[in-house]
Amino acid sequence: MSKNVRQSLFGLLLVIPSFLILSFVVIVPIVLAINESFKDNNGSYSLTHYYYLFTDKVSVGNIVFTLKLTVISVVMVLLISYALAVYMRFSGGRLVNGIKRMYMIPMFIPSVIASYGIINMYGNHGWLSRILLLFGTEALPKIIFDYKGIILANLWFNIPFTTMLLSSALSGIPNAIIESAKDIGASRLQIFFRFILPLSYRTMWVAITFIFMGIIGGFTAPFLIGPNSPQVLGVAMRQIFSVYQDTQLASANAVFMFILCSLMGYFYIRTMIKDDKAAH
């Protein structure tokens, strides 16, 4: 047996355990969920549950609510994180140093604790309401048990991680490029759109993909501080499964969420492949 063959077999043996774990943890449940979603109450295969998913008023409302919430959250997280990353990359001083030390703190706080903290802060009888009451006003908009509360939680959970990714990409931009652009008279907007944004484009797509998948599959914050109706798909799927015990409809919801995440992953991979071909 040649050396190359032995190395190939050894590499295969190292990969097999990981592949088996991936199969039983990810691939097999996906296949079972897809199979379950096409079964009706009689055990026959049909599109009944998918028809219900896209025609029932409550179900359609949940889908629209989830997509709207996801798009708004992704855009807000990306804008805030990008602005914060650019500020920390091209600025200095005590404020920047303080932000660098503190902006990652939310990543180490469990989502349940953070959600209850948001409730205690922004609830109708929370700390913010009490502070406003001292100034003689009770004009606090409804935040908790509303979509605004979920957006607030999404910002809390995703801004630190996204800022970290974007900061890593921006740190790789040589200062010589920025200084050269300034020397030839380029404005700040020109520098941003012609140099900074293109050089951090790939990392931005990575951040968008992770934010989208994390938000659309979120459960803890929407369950604790979201409205009773409409609901995000994760909370609705839990209610369908545990309260109504309709495993087939819950599986159809899960498959739909998986398709949404797969489409996002497809566009991400396609964009990266095009960029790699263009680079070569």
pLDDT above 90: residue 269:
no
Average pLDDT, the chain: 85
Rounded Cα–Cα distance for residues 67 and 232 (Å):
9
* Residue 105 in tokens: 């703190």
pLDDT of residue 138: 67
Q: What is the CATH number of domain 56-112+142-279?
A: 1.10.3720.10
Q: What is the dihedral of CA 234, 238, 241, 246, to 10 degrees?
A: -50
Are residues 124 and 205 in contact, defined by beta-carbon separation less than 8 angstroms?
no
User: Tokens 């190939």 belong to which residue?
Assistant: 8
pLDDT of residue 240: 87
212-247 pLDDT per residue, tens:
988 988 888 899 898 888 899 989 988 888 888 888
Are residues 209 and 264 in contact, defined by beta-carbon separation less than 8 angstroms?
yes
* Beta-bridge partners for 39: 45
Whole-structure pTM value: 0.85
Annotated domain spans of the chain: 56-112+142-279
The letter for the amino acid at 181 is A
Angle at 125 between CA 120 and CA 129, to 5 degrees: 90
3-state SS, the chain, equals CCHHHHHHHHHHHHHHHHHHHHHHHHHHHHHHHHHHHCECCCCCECCHHHHHHHHCHHHHHHHHHHHHHHHHHHHHHHHHHHHHHHHHHHCCCHHHHHHHHHCCHHHHCCHHHHHHHHHHHHCCCCHHHHHHHHCCCCCCCCCCCCHHHHHHHHHHHHHHHHHHHHHHHHHCCCHHHHHHHHHCCCCHHHHHHHHHHHHCHHHHHHHHHHHHHHHHCCCHHHHHHCCCCCCCHHHHHHHHHHCCCCHHHHHHHHHHHHHHHHHHHHHHHHHHHHHHHHHC
77-123 pLDDT per residue, tens:
999 999 999 888 888 788 888 888 888 888 888 888 988 888 888 88
Nearest to 37 by CA among 195, 257, 243: 257
pLDDT of residue 89: 85
Which of 59 and 26 is assigned the larger pLDDT? 59
Helix runs in 26-56, H state only: 28-37, 48-55
* Residue 172 in tokens: 């790789």
153-203 pLDDT per residue, tens:
999 999 999 999 999 888 888 888 888 888 888 888 888 888 888 888 888
User: Tokens 């592949």 belong to which residue?
Assistant: 19
